[in-house]
Amino acid sequence: MTETNSATVEVKTERRLSVTDITAEVEQAIPDGYTGTVTVFVEHTTAAVTLNEGESRLLSDFETMLSGLINDEGWQHDKLDGNADSHLRAFLLGPSETMPVTEGTLSLGRWQSVLFIDCDGPRTRSVRVYW
């Protein structure tokens, strides 16, 4: 893929662990009239992207679940820089999602949203949209 077939979406987070609906930003990055697929790829090892419902209470539930699944401390990598929990959470979720596009619009299910998960914030992150 060439750089002309991609765009960057920047996401600013406010907490160490947060889930942000970036559906609108991803859709704005897609060229008008394009039909095919896009891949949304997170360029960080402590962040992830997934598809799910973007309802605010559910986003909070995702954060609570991820905190409960992976302990914040006690990992070997913590001896290096103290963020092993962030790497492990991102590892479980994955760095990309591919989805269909029709005439420049994401073809998602009724309740589906593109969710960005920052496991090591607060930061400004880059998300790439490839078509």
Mean pLDDT of the chain: 96
Tell me the pLDDT tens digit for each residue of 65-106: 999 999 999 999 989 999 999 999 999 999 999 999 999 999
DSSP at 109: -
State the helix-helix crossing angle for 84-93 and 56-69, rounded to 10 degrees.
120
CA–CA gap between residue 96 and residue 119 (Å, rounded)? 15
* CATH number, domain 16-130: 2.60.120.460
Res 3: pLDDT: 57
Question: Cβ-count burial of 108 within 10 angstroms (0-12 exposed, 13-18 middle, 19+ buried)?
Answer: middle
